[in-house]
Amino acid sequence: ANSKGPIVEIVEKELDFGHIEVLKDWTKTLRVKNKSPIKADFHVFTKNKNSIFKPLHKQGVLEDFGSIDIQVLCTPDDNVSFTDTLHFVIKEGIDIDIPLKAKGVGSTIYCKEDLKLITFGMQYTFKYDHKEIFVENKGRRPQRLTWLPKKPESKKKNAEKQEQKPIKDRSE
């Protein structure tokens, strides 16, 4: 006698998220098909425990000749390339590995406040004031944060801008 377990097939051979913004959740879907008259118990997990990739459906039963969509969540926490492997363990069947790829884009520095303009409002001269700003690094690597005051434009630069304006000929 020659016996066989369930025959499971995954349509996508690789899951590439491409260039995606860091610190945001992105999902892609894998279509899993059971090509046999036998129910298929499955378990899904990533190779790396500290992975940016997470299957949203970690285990289940795939009905005979049935199919299911497995969503994979990707949350990059750095602006580098990430790779991992998604393991599908099929009970009494052949296990399947799917390569996962993503490239994080953007900054991992996070602040609730908008830092484009920090205003202190109206202040009295010679009175000291402070403002607390909570900035968090949500990335994997240490970062250096530098604050520089914006220099006001000098009177000389303003005068140069005014000189560059075209002068109308009054003789016309």
Tens-place pLDDT, residues 61-78: 999 999 999 999 999 999
The pair of structure tokens assigned to 120 is 């202190």
User: Which residue is associated with the tokens 């580098």?
Assistant: 80
87: Cβ contacts below 8 Å, ≥ 6 apart: 44, 45, 46, 47, 95, 96, 97
For the chain, the helix, strand and coil percentages under 3-state DSSP, each to the nearest 5: 5, 40, 55
What pLDDT does 127 receive?
A: 82
Residue 172 binned pLDDT confidence (cut-offs 50, 70, 90)? very low
- Per residue in 119-158, pLDDT (tens digit) is 878 888 888 888 888 999 999 889 888 877 777 766 666 5
